[in-house]
A and B are shown apart, each in its own frame.
Chain A
Amino acid sequence: MNTTLIVGAVAFWLAAWAVNEWLVRVKATGLVARAIDLVIPILFGASLLVLWEGLTRGFNVPQVLLPPPSVIWARILASTGTLWADFHQTFIKSVIPGYVLGCTAGLLVAIAIDRSPFLKRGLLPIGNFVSALPLVGIAPIMVMWFGFDWQSKAAVVVVMTFFPMLVNAVAGLNASTRMEQDLMRTYAASYWHTLMKLRLPAAWPFIFNALKINSTLALIGAIVAEFFGTPVVGMGFRISSAIGRLNVDMVWASIAVAALAGSTFYGLIALTERAVTFWHPSIRGGKTR
């Protein structure tokens, strides 16, 4: 037990909190306001890390239970090669192809069934139902069908990303109003014209919503599928095998990589969304409550 460390960490956390309390009261505009918006969460995150470090070291928490952040960071630096190989296997070989295939298929099926109100009424409730199911459960089946390598993981990702995209894209294709569609008709626009110029653009916010949901789902699907059998590389494999040896700092290092990959993926999609749906009130208006 090291009281100074504990007191120091808690004091830092309280100080950071006080600074944040002061920062939210600062009346600022323009660049300063945006900087403050950034600084507040970063300061809070940093204070959490300091608290974590201080408490785990101060109370002498065994490393098996919870290693301090500095140890995890040292582990990341010491095993960049392994972590990169895992990232390559899981993210680039399984997540990306599965994500692209699943989302494309969902979008295409949505466009296809959108022409038939009958199919829409039949498929949509089922799609809604399925997207609420614990679909990660199909992982063992896919591993049996497609083998241990990345193909089975990509298949799980395809299934998991398909339904959210289907449901959202169908909702999005219905987002354009009657008036707008009538306007297109007065222009003598064909079905494809209406689809390309009106209905798909109107559907983008919904499609991006699905893309964002799927970015997380895809990574989860690939990692969980690796728990069911995998070649000796991959983030899921690393986590489950390091756990078996109680090599907890390696687990945390893998999780940190997964977290970084997941947030970067999400961030990229969110940025693309801002560029594509620049006209949408939630982006144009700037401030949402």
Chain B
Amino acid sequence: MTATTPIAAPGSAIGRVSGPSLWARLSQGSTVPILLVLAVIFVIWYAFTIYLNARWQFQVFDRAGAEFTAWEFIVGTMSQDRPVLPAPHQVAVELWNTIVGQNITSRRSLVYHAWITLSATLLGFLMGTLLGMGLAVLIVHNRATDRSLMPWIIASQTVPILAIAPMVVVVLASIGMTGLVPKALISTYLSFFPVVVGMVKGLRSPEFLQLDLLRTYSASRWQAFWKLRFPSSLPYLFTSMKVGVAASLVGAIVGELPTGAAGGLGARLLAGSYYGQTVQIWSALFMAAALSATLILLVGLVQRIVLARMGGQP
């Protein structure tokens, strides 16, 4: 869905290289700029930490009635229990404590919560991908399905699907279905769409010439599907699976919001917001971000391996 393009087209910087200095060579790549931008983000973050937490800190010092230096003040803003904005190192410490410092089966462990969310995400992603592939095959092979279903599939995504999430969870709980499945269903709903769209595009990507060639071989529909359509749809499939897996994680997290205490990153966010535990919210957010990035990377890795095995160029 989101158009991704190379950061800089190869050769776009040619003609601007003034000399082969180390700096020039490093900044030609994207490592230095990314690191620099990240550093700037951190500086801004720290500045905001001081600014946003200042009011509370003034009150603390006022109540104590003590003199304070600027340095004490700054350190104070960064070591509050419930800061308006926690400093990056506070989040890092919290992450370390809840990931490494706890037994992973403990409810205090972030790994435990991440695993709950991850299992729902993976189940939902699997179901969504299979559903999406199935629908795509139907759509490509039956024109009535194509023309009646496709507009609705697209319309279904203009609907804020996540609004249904709490209802799905609560309603399924009322008939005794709790735990993984309701959340996975929401993930399924969110992840099947990119797969359908990508897969339909992919299954239609073979040219008429290639399809005609198969016809001259008197290949059946079945053979044409397995030998031509399916292989040529794989690059599209994997690209949309990357979008799908990210959407799937969002679905699982939002699906956890109404379940309350059942655990998972979404429940962690909700509990954090109830009790004003901002550090906990931020660490759950970072965990979700890391999870999302890992899942996308994994799908990308599988994509490269599969496409390489099929003899495609990377």
Report which A residues bind B (CB closer than 8 A).
Answer: 17, 20-21, 23-25, 37, 40-41, 43-45, 64-66, 117-126, 128-129, 131-134, 136-141, 143-145, 164, 167-168, 170-171, 174, 206, 209-210, 213, 215-216, 219-220, 223-224, 227-229, 235-236, 239-240, 243, 246, 248, 251, 254-255, 258-259, 262-263, 265-267, 289
Contact = CB atoms under 8 A, between A and B. Distances in A.
B160 A228 contact: no
Contact of A263 (B35, B155, B253, B276): B155
Nearest to B154: A266
B246 A134 contact: yes
A274 to B, nearest CB: 16
B171 A121 contact: no
Contact of B163 (A143, A223, A229): A223
Given A139-B269, A144-B278, 17 more contacts: A24-B147, A41-B152, A117-B12, A119-B33, A122-B36, A131-B2, A132-B293, A137-B288, A141-B281, A174-B5, A216-B159, A220-B162, A224-B254, A224-B257, A236-B163, A246-B174, A265-B158
Given A126-B37, A134-B288, A141-B278, A41 B147 contact: yes
Nearest to B201: A289
A144 B33 contact: no
Interface in B4-60: 4-5, 7-9, 12-13, 16, 27, 29-30, 32-38, 41, 52
Classify the interface of chain A: helix, strand, loop or mixed. helix
B284 A137 contact: yes
Contacts of A136: 162, 250, 253-254
B98 interface: no
Nearest to B190: A220
A243 B174 contact: no
Contacts of A133: 246, 288-289, 292-293
Contacts of B292: 132-134
Nearest to A259: B159
A134 B250 contact: yes
Nearest to A236: B163
Contacts of B162: 136, 220, 223-224
Interface of B: 1-5, 7-9, 12-13, 16, 27, 29-30, 32-38, 41, 52, 84, 143-144, 146-152, 155, 157-164, 166-167, 170-171, 174-175, 204, 242, 246, 249-250, 253-254, 257-258, 265, 269-270, 272-273, 276, 278, 281-282, 284-285, 288-289, 292-293, 296
Nearest to B28: A121
Contacts of B258: 227, 240, 243
A121 B250 contact: no
Contacts of A267: 158
A259 B276 CA distance: 33
Nearest to A123: B37
A239 B163 contact: yes
A140 B272 contact: yes
Contacts of A258: 159-160, 163
B166 A243 contact: yes
Contacts of A174: 5, 9
Contact of A122 (B33, B257, B281): B33
6 closest A-B pairs by beta carbon, nearest first, are A122-B33, A140-B273, A44-B148, A122-B37, A41-B151, A266-B158
Nearest to A36: B147
A159 B153 CA distance: 27
